[in-house]
């Protein structure tokens, strides 16, 4: 499996949309972590 480091500059992609998705992923991750800490 070959992994190339991806820089956050996309050709032909909407940077605002990409950043929004990135922040949504972060918020979901934090919410899941908080739920796990709270319930266990």
The DSSP call for residue 11 is: T
Per-residue pLDDT of the chain in tens (40 residues, 90 and over written 9)? 555 555 555 555 565 667 788 899 999 999 999 999 988 7
Residue with tokens 């940077």: 15
Structure tokens at 21: 């998705």
Q: Kindly state the DSSP code that residue 36 receives in the 8-state scheme.
A: H
How far is it, in rounded angstroms, from Cα 22 to Cα 26? Answer: 6
* Predicted model pTM: 0.48
């Amino acid at each position: 499996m070959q992994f190339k480091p991806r820089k956050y500059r996309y050709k032909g992609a909407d940077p605002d949309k990409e950043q929004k998705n990135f922040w949504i992923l972060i918020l979901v991750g934090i919410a899941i972590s908080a739920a796990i800490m709270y319930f266990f």
